Amino acid sequence: MKAYAIAGLLLAAFMMPRSAFAQVPVPTPTPDPLVYNDPAMHYAAPAGAHLVGQIQTPTLATLSQDPTPIAAWIVGSGQQMKVISIVMEAFNGDLDGFDSTYENALRSDDPATLVKNKEHVLLQNGMPALFLEVTQGSGFSTRKIFAYIWIDSQRAVVLSATSRLGVLDETSAKLLLAGATAVRYPSNQP
């Protein structure tokens, strides 16, 4: 008889609506505002950076062939401010082909664009990339852009540091951008 009573209680417990049980919230980790991750890329902004904005990891279907801002951080303030940004676009060509596209886009934004010190480099984990130094604008509005660009087989990625002329040099830009790693975009990801 006791077995039937226990079985009846168990059956009643399973038949109860789930709301009758105490809900224990599962803690969700607080995203680190200094980190951007997606299936093919990781970037950790330096300590002291402040997140300006970051969108959800875009799927390949949502990326167009136009540059899409993904994340941005600021370091410093006022005239010494530096902006770190990640921009992506759908692209399945080679790195030199994207370099031409990127430079043309910079020149269409501002005809006073000078690209120099372009070199083939490897990111921390060995991913091939280009490192560019760009001067853009004239007079008091001149700015300096240092950028790593790479292709992950599906997307073109630009990780850049931008500041007023004289604030950022190659060594300090490379330190700001040093937290980047990338791999070929996984074929099983949307």
Tell me the one-letter amino acid at 178. Answer: A
> What per-residue confidence (pLDDT) applies to 11?
40
Residue 151 is inside which H or E element, if any? strand 143-151
Residue 1: pLDDT over 50: no
Render pLDDT for 97-131 as a digit per residue (tens, 0 to 9): 999 999 999 999 999 999 998 999 999 999 999 99
* pLDDT for the residue numbered 31: 83
> What CATH code is carried by the domain that includes residue 176?
3.40.1000.10
- Each residue of 18-58: pLDDT tens digit? 444 445 454 445 589 999 999 999 999 999 999 999 987 77
User: What per-residue confidence (pLDDT) applies to 8?
Assistant: 47
Residue 60 vs residue 46, higher pLDDT: 46
Q: Exposed, middle or buried: residue 174 (CB in 10 Å: 0-12, 13-18, 19+)?
A: middle
Decide if 18 is inside a domain. Answer: no
95: which residues sit within 8 A by CB, 6+ positions away?
128, 129, 130, 149, 150, 151
In which domain, by residue range, is 85 found? 27-182
In-domain check, residue 21: no
For residue 11, tell me if it sits in a domain: no
Assigned domain for 1 exists: no
Number of domains in the chain: 1
Measured CA to CA, the distance from residue 88 to residue 164 in angstroms comes to 23
Q: Is residue 16 part of a domain?
A: no
Give the model's confidence band at 17: pLDDT under 50 very low, under 70 low, under 90 confident, else very high: low
Q: Looking at residue 60, what is its pLDDT?
A: 82
Contact 52, 72 (CB under 8 A): yes
pLDDT at 147 over 70: yes
Residue 4 belongs to some domain of the structure: no
With CA atoms as reference, report the closest residue to 149 among 164, 134, 169, 138.
134
Residue 97 counted as domain residue: yes
Residue 2 lies in a domain: no
At residue 62, φ and ψ (nearest 5 deg) are -90, -15
What per-residue confidence (pLDDT) applies to 10?
40
